[in-house]
Structure 1
Amino acid sequence: MKGPLFYSKILLFGEYGIIKDSKGLSIPFNYFKGALKKENNFSATAKASNLALKNFVIYLEDLTKKDSTLVSFDLEALNEDVENGMYFDSSIPQGYGVGSSGALVAAVYDRYATDKITVLENLTREKLLKLKTIFGKMESFFHGKSSGLDPLNSYLSLPILINSKDNIESTSIPSQNTDGKGAVFLLDSGSTGETAPMVQLFMEQMKNDGFRRMLKNQFIKHTDACVEDFINGNIKSLFGNLKQLSHVVLDNFKPMIPSKFHELWKQGIDTNDYYLKLCGSGGGGYILGFTEDIDKAKLALKDFKLEVVYNF
């Protein structure tokens, strides 16, 4: 058994903001991928994955009991496959903000949901929202609370534009300019980050009036502008807004930025060689970078591994 492949994702814009109705833009990232597999020779990783799936199945049984109208699965087949050693074979790093649990959720839904919404049908806004709700409930097993966006991106393998919580659509982004010097890149922080504690920290800060004002008047304002600029290919304006956004994150989201990157973050803003932002919830994993000149960025960040995601 080798299932279809499900890819990682990158939330280019919208981390934390989408919890409070900012715009967001999420794109599939085909560099990392995963598939459901069964084989007899079990590695330690496969064993751990199989065990996690067993617990996930118990959670899904409970989920369908609570709300059978939302989603139902062929639980008999799923249980049998997991008992026979099925696991999720994945190259997607966990705790890196690129959707490892999202790809697993998409793979399980794709194979075992009994009345599934397929990628081939006309995906109306209602269907997208229903999928997002289903995926949010499924992925909550891994994160405590999930928006459902990561699995949705992985399942559809299309860029997704988030206009607000209840308004999402698949979208197109400008074609890459493979000869362009501008780039979006991933910077490996060298440590993993956990989503749940970071989101909890954010929710605590949301109790503070000043933080809420900053979020609305600065963070969401620049995030929304970045999304518009990126989709419309307004590169000059995009980098102006990215600089502002990077600054706001450095000033107000420091706990989400691994401490050894505080100086590098500021250096990017001061030199304009690159701008850094959170990739997912932060705390570790990947950091997302944007540059108008990838050679300059590589030189400035020569001690780190950069992975180019998109060329301008």
Structure 2
Amino acid sequence: MKNPLFYAKILLFGEYGIIENSKGLTIPYNFYQGALKFELTPESASSNESLRKYAQFLSENFSDQFNTESFIEDVKNGMYFDSNIPQGYGVGSSGALVAAIYNKYSKDKIDIQADLTKDKIAELKLIFGKMESYFHGKSSGIDPLICYMNIPLLIQSKDDISTVGLPAASIDGKGAVFLINSGEPGETAPMVQIFFEKLKGEGFRKTLKEEFIKYNNACIDYFVKGEYNPLFANLQKLSSWAFEHFRPMIPQKLVDAWKTGIDTDTYYLKLCGSGGGGYVLGFTQDYEKAKTHLKDFNTEVIYRF
């Protein structure tokens, strides 16, 4: 393909926890996508300028790993990132861009069609973390990794990532995983900064380890197995914990809706990415019933069961 597409991603479980070595589960989301293209127009000018700055960053820091001269030349010739992935919504807009740049300009590209080992996946994650640090100050590399590989990934720890199969979706299932649009973008760096400030408190570190990570890991185990009753029992605890301890990260417009889900046991919300704005994730065993409580918001189903 001349312009390979790179899709958005959704981190179903593991936001913030993976920084502290919890499990994570991430899936591609093909509704949004981006590709590198050549055609300088007034609409593409800002993307082209962003790429110029990014090419400079790679040139100054990673010229041994990337064909940065070719990258810089392509930007001069009008290259931009044509993407409908919303920025600041927690679905991997910078991850898809980083994956596209790696794919086109890496000097020693790791072939994902070949027999991928855990070591190769870990190597890719490390490279992507360094590349994406330009956008967020600090990056785990997970977002570009999922955008690049375009298959579900199970994160056992920061050094142990593997592909994973998910239960087959049911098109007409009552249950659903869905996105809710908060109506405004969020910024990753300030949210991550809040998290690191919280980590300085011994009480927060303790509850993160003993409660949040425990519920998070249980949700992943049950979701992958398709065991929905224990999944939702743990989702209720996870959503309640986040409501208490991640309140600054919950978009203001969704605070009441978040609590309503917990109070009615109709649906449970959790962060999608770093929070502060963008999307949040919803889980329900009865999507039509959940929608009655969420009629003031735009919801988007990503998985039915």
Q: Shorter-chain TM-score: which interval?
A: over 0.9
Structure-to-structure mapping, 1:10-25, within 5 angstroms: 10-25=10-25
Distance in 1 (alpha carbons) for counterparts of 2:67 and 2:253: 47
TM-superposed deviation, 1:119: 1.3
Q: Which residue of 2 aligns with 1:7?
A: 7
1:169 aligns with 2:162: yes
Distance in 2 (alpha carbons) for counterparts of 1:110 and 1:61: 16
Amino acid at match of 1:33: Q
TM-superposed deviation, 1:83: 0.4
Distance in 1 (alpha carbons) for counterparts of 2:61 and 2:128: 12
1:149 aligns with 2:142: yes
Distance in 2 (alpha carbons) for counterparts of 1:3 and 1:280: 27
Structure-to-structure mapping, 1:233-244, within 5 angstroms: 233-244=226-237
Q: Matched residue of 1:175: which SS?
A: coil
Q: Which residue of 2 aligns with 1:193?
A: 186
Q: Any stretches of 5+ residues in structure 1 without a counterpart?
A: none
Distance in 2 (alpha carbons) for counterparts of 1:60 and 1:16: 27
Amino acid at match of 1:24: G
Whether contact under 8 Å (1:184, 1:310) holds in the other structure is: yes
Whether contact under 8 Å (2:56, 2:72) holds in the other structure is: no
Whether contact under 8 Å (1:2, 1:36) holds in the other structure is: no
Structure-to-structure mapping, 1:268-279, within 5 angstroms: 268-279=261-272
TM-superposed deviation, 1:80: 1.2
Q: Which residue of 2 aligns with 1:217?
A: 210
Q: Which residue of 2 aligns with 1:99?
A: 92
Identity of aligned residues (%): 58
1:282 aligns with 2:271: no
TM-superposed deviation, 1:263: 1.6
Amino acid at match of 2:251: P
Distance in 1 (alpha carbons) for counterparts of 2:167 and 2:61: 39
Distance in 2 (alpha carbons) for counterparts of 1:94 and 1:258: 15
Distance in 2 (alpha carbons) for counterparts of 1:11 and 1:87: 26
Q: Which residue of 2 aligns with 1:260?
A: 253
Q: Matched residue of 2:109: which SS?
A: coil
Q: Which residue of 2 aligns with 1:208?
A: 201
Whether contact under 8 Å (1:2, 1:37) holds in the other structure is: no
Distance in 2 (alpha carbons) for counterparts of 1:260 and 1:50: 33
Amino acid at match of 2:51: L
After the TM superposition, list the runs of 4 or more consecutive aligned residues in structure 1 that deviate by more than 6 angstroms. none
Q: Deviations over 1:165-195 (max 9, x none)?
A: 1111111111101110100000000011000
Distance in 2 (alpha carbons) for counterparts of 1:299 and 1:2: 45
Distance in 2 (alpha carbons) for counterparts of 1:218 and 1:262: 21
Q: Which residue of 2 aligns with 1:57?
A: 55
Q: Matched residue of 1:123: which SS?
A: coil
TM-superposed deviation, 1:2: 5.1
Distance in 1 (alpha carbons) for counterparts of 2:69 and 2:158: 34
Tell me the TM-score normalised to structure 1 length. 0.96
Q: Which residue of 2 aligns with 1:37?
A: 37
Structure-to-structure mapping, 1:296-311, within 5 angstroms: 296-311=289-304
Q: Any stretches of 5+ residues in structure 2 without a counterpart?
A: none
Whether contact under 8 Å (1:10, 1:27) holds in the other structure is: yes
Whether contact under 8 Å (1:102, 1:139) holds in the other structure is: yes
Distance in 2 (alpha carbons) for counterparts of 1:108 and 1:306: 31
Amino acid at match of 1:50: N
